[in-house]
Chain A
Amino acid sequence: DGGITQSPKYLFRKEGQNVTLSCEQNLNHDAMYWYRQDPGQGLRLIYYSQIVNDFQKGDIAEGYSVSREKKESFPLTVTSAQKNPTAFYLCASSGGTSGGFGTQYFGPGTRLTVL
C-alpha cells in the first residue's frame, strides 16, 4: 500500500519541550516537504529536501529543524524556540517514478497543540 504516513495524528506538548513529527513515504520520491497550516492562512513552507542529506529552509523555518538521512523519512522537530507552534502540520513528497513534473502528494497531517 503506497503513500505518505504521518505520526502521531494528534500531539500535545508542554511549553519549553521539543517534539518530533514523523513523516515516512514509500513512493520512492526524491523530494519531501513540511508545511504548516493555520486557519485562514493556507499552507506555509517550513523546510524542504530534494535529496538525501540535503535540505533548504522555506518561508517560516525559525524554531524548526529537520533531517534527511534516508530517502523515505523526513522528520520535523518543533523546538522550544518556536513561539507559536500550535498548528496543523502537513508533510508532502514529489518526484521519482510515481511522481514526476513536481506533483506533490500530501500525508494526513499531525495536529500539534501546546498546552
Chain B
Amino acid sequence: GENVEQHPSTLSVQEGDSAVIKCTYSDSASNYFPWYKQELGKGPQLIIDIRSNVGEKKDQRIAVTLNKTAKHFSLHITETQPEDSAVYFCAASIVGSGRGSTLGRLYFGRGTQLTVWP
C-alpha cells in the first residue's frame, strides 16, 4: 500500500517567518494530496488540497506544491502567526473522477508540530 513520510516532525519559527513542511509518497497512482491542521483536542481541519493535474495551488498565506516525478509535495506557510501553531498532517490518496466519487482511502504522514513564537 501507499507509504507517506513527513518531515520535519517539529518546526519552530519566529512570527512573520515562513514555514515549509515536506512529504513524500510511494505509490505513483496517488492523485489527491490534502493537508490538515489539527489544534489541540480537536479534529483535523482541511486547509488546502491539490490534485495531480496541478503543480501548485495557493490560498492566501498557504500554498502547496506537487512534484509528481519525484513523488513529493510540500506545504508553505508565509508570514506565520502564533495562531498557525498546530499539528499539520499531509495525506495521499487515489480517488476516482466525477462529482460525488467517494473512493479514496487517505494515507497520512505522522504529522509536524509547528510552533510560531511571537
Chain A positions within 8 Å of B, measured between CB atoms, are 4, 6, 29-31, 33, 40-43, 45, 48, 50, 58, 90, 94-97, 99-109, 111
What residues of chain A lie closer than 8 Å to B41, measured between beta carbons? 109, 111
Within the complex, what minimum Cβ distance (angstroms) separates B61 from chain A? Answer: 21
Q: Which of B11-19, B63-71, B99-107 interfaces with chain A?
A: B99-107
B99 near A42 with CB under 8 A, answer: no
Among A40, A95, A105, A106, the residue within 8 A (CB) of B100 is A95
A99 near B105 with CB under 8 A, answer: no
A48 near B102 with CB under 8 A, answer: no
What residues of chain B lie closer than 8 Å to A99, measured between beta carbons? 100, 102
A109 near B111 with CB under 8 A, answer: no
Within the complex, what minimum Cβ distance (angstroms) separates A23 from chain B? Answer: 11
What residues of chain A lie closer than 8 Å to B9, measured between beta carbons? 40
Within the complex, what minimum Cβ distance (angstroms) separates A37 from chain B? Answer: 9
In the complex formed, the residue of A with least CB distance to B9 is A40
Interface of B is mostly: loop
What residues of chain B lie closer than 8 Å to A41, measured between beta carbons? 110
B43 near A102 with CB under 8 A, answer: no
Asked, given contacts A41-B110, A45-B105, whether A90 binds B43 with beta carbons under 8 Å apart, the answer is: yes
Residue of A42, A96, A106 ringed by the most chain B CB atoms within 10 A: A42
What residues of chain B lie closer than 8 Å to A105, measured between beta carbons? 46
What residues of chain B lie closer than 8 Å to A30, measured between beta carbons? 100, 102
B51 near A109 with CB under 8 A, answer: no
What residues of chain A lie closer than 8 Å to B95, measured between beta carbons? 101-102
What residues of chain A lie closer than 8 Å to B101, measured between beta carbons? 95, 100-102
In the complex formed, the residue of B with least CB distance to A88 is B41
Q: CB within 8 Å of A: which of B40-59?
A: 41-46, 49, 51
Residue of A31, A50, A100, A102 ringed by the most chain B CB atoms within 10 A: A102
Q: CB within 8 Å of A: which of B90-118?
A: 93, 95-97, 99-106, 108-111
| Sample of 6 more A-B contacts, CB < 8 Å, known A30-B102, A42-B108 | A40-B110, A95-B101, A99-B102, A101-B32, A102-B101, A104-B34
